[in-house]
Amino acid sequence: MVGSGDGVISQKTKYALRALLALAESDGAHPLRIRDIAGSRAIPRKFLEAILLELKAGGLVASFRGKNGGYVLAKPAEEISLADVMRRIDGPIAPLPCVSRRFYSRCADCSGDADCAFRDAFDQAHAANLRVLEATTIARLCALENEADTAQGRCDAKAAPDCQVSGKRLG
Amino acid sequence: MVGSGDGVISQKTKYALRALLALAESDGAHPLRIRDIAGSRAIPRKFLEAILLELKAGGLVASFRGKNGGYVLAKPAEEISLADVMRRIDGPIAPLPCVSRRFYSRCADCSGDADCAFRDAFDQAHAANLRVLEATTIARLCALENEADTAQGRCDAKAAPDCQVSGKRLG
DNA sequence: TGAAATCTCTACCGATTTGGTAGACAAATA
DNA sequence: TATTTGTCTACCAAATCGGTAGAGATTTCA
């Protein structure tokens, strides 16, 4: 079933972003417990444990153990971009390894055949994509979220108005 | 292993693009046989059969059976974009279903939680990505490929010069 | 010195997707 | 009718995705 389309952002990345938003919105004085983040953001607890460990390994969050322990952001929310999170959780963002900024490697089968012709196009597309992803920070998302909340109506009010909800549109 | 990175373009899409390039480069008078495309472009034959059927279902190629049969492009190479091929083979390009132009649907878990804040950013990134992918046609890829070929040195000569080949760069 | 609370680590698990392969079948052509 | 081509149904192994279980290590507090 080709078109069922969960899209390309993994569940894991969505959970990671939600967790980071939760941390960014907390006062930062007290660490947030895994259990509380999981509870408030609807994330499976054990899964979140693993995700936070990855984020910690990537230097995005820090943790404390024992009573009063928990997680905090390891740097200002302004310095964590969407691209940072995606790369840490799902690996390279580039569509082809030979076009990757951070994880460059030669395409295994690129020599002597037609793949090379694709490279340039994918490189441009990737660059355009990345510009947005690098420019968007957790802080910015946080602001957007609060905006939406106080203007109430929450998420649904912002759904693209020209998109039909029923079924798929193949045009 | 998060960074091993084959990238996001599936093998299947790469094969599809190679096959389309082969068809675009043939004179168009005689159909190309699956076997010949597979041979000249290093694509597993049986796998290519399935791919061509999908492209046919999508109206990108046409076929003839029996002796002298084979495949041809169903429309001018100028009218087949990278985005067309990717969508036909791998489904929606959008990172989130609620941001998709062709396959819109509401995110399952978007109501009342933080996902909404992501939407806007991913929407912009996707739009930027799509602009390039829609603008790049098979004809253009074909031209690029020939350019590279006649300037000889083939692919490898075009590899990004500022990228080290050895190992991964984590910066 | 515990005991409790918290993060950490290793191991597993079922479902789905990816990248294929095998083989019978159908339609053209000569 | 024999041959040559595409078409269709069914598999298959390996990897990935989304998660779970449970023991272990640290810190704090009484």
CA atoms within 13 A on the CB side of B55: 33
Pick from A79-93, A145-159, B110-124: least confident: A145-159
Footprint of strand D on the protein (CB under 7 A): A 6, 10-12, 15, 44-47, 49-50, 64-69, 90; B 1, 4, 31-35, 49-50, 52-53, 56, 63-71
- The CA distance from B32 to the nearest CA of chain A, in Å, is 17
Q: Determine contact, residues A117/B145, Cβ cutoff 8 Å.
A: yes
Pick from A33-37, A129-133, A148-152, B57-61: least confident: A148-152
* Burial (CB count within 10 angstroms: exposed 0-12, middle 13-18, buried 19+), residue B159: middle
* Burial (CB count within 10 angstroms: exposed 0-12, middle 13-18, buried 19+), residue B99: buried
Parse chain A into domains and list their residue ranges.
10-76, 81-136
Average pLDDT (B12-22) is 97
Which of B41, B89, B156 comes nearest A111 by C-beta? B156
Residue with CA nearest to C30's C1' atom: B67
Q: How far apart are CA A106 and CA A98, in angstroms?
A: 5
* Sign of the dihedral through C-alpha B39, B42, B43, B46: positive
Q: How far apart are CA B50 and CA A41, in angstroms?
A: 42
CA A1, C1' C15: Å apart? Answer: 15
Residue with CA nearest to C26's C1' atom: B65
Q: What percent of chain B has pLDDT over 90?
A: 60
Tell me the residue type at A25: E
User: Phi and psi at residue A62, in whole multiples of 5°?
Assistant: -130, 160
Q: Determine contact, residues B55/B61, Cβ cutoff 8 Å.
A: yes
Q: pLDDT band at A109, cuts 50/70/90? A: low
Our CA dihedral for A56, A62, A65, A71, rounded to 10 degrees, sits at -100
Q: How many residues does chain A have?
A: 171
Q: How far apart are CA A156 and CA B3, in angstroms?
A: 35
Q: Of A141, A152, A157, A133, nearest to A84 (Cα)?
A: A133
Give the pair of three-digit tokens for residue A87. Answer: 């790369």
Give the pair of three-digit tokens for residue B66. Answer: 């029996």
pLDDT of amino acid A28: 79
Q: pLDDT band at B99, cuts 50/70/90? A: confident
pLDDT at B36 over 70: yes
- Residue B75 is classified by DSSP as S
Q: Determine contact, residues A29/A23, Cβ cutoff 8 Å.
A: no
pTM of the model as a whole: 0.84
Domain B10-76 sits in CATH at 1.10.10.10
Q: How far apart are CA A88 and CA A60, in angstroms?
A: 9
Instruction: Tell me the pLDDT tens digit for each residue of A38-63.
Output: 999 999 999 999 999 999 999 999 99
pLDDT of amino acid A139: 96
Task: Pick A119 or A64 by higher pLDDT.
Answer: A64
- Residue A81 is classified by DSSP as B
Q: Are the Cβ atoms of A100 and B4 closer than 8 angstroms? A: no
Letter string b/e over residues A2-36, b meaning 16 or more CB atoms within 10 A of that residue's CB:
eeebebbbeebbbbbbbbbbbbbbbeeeebbebee
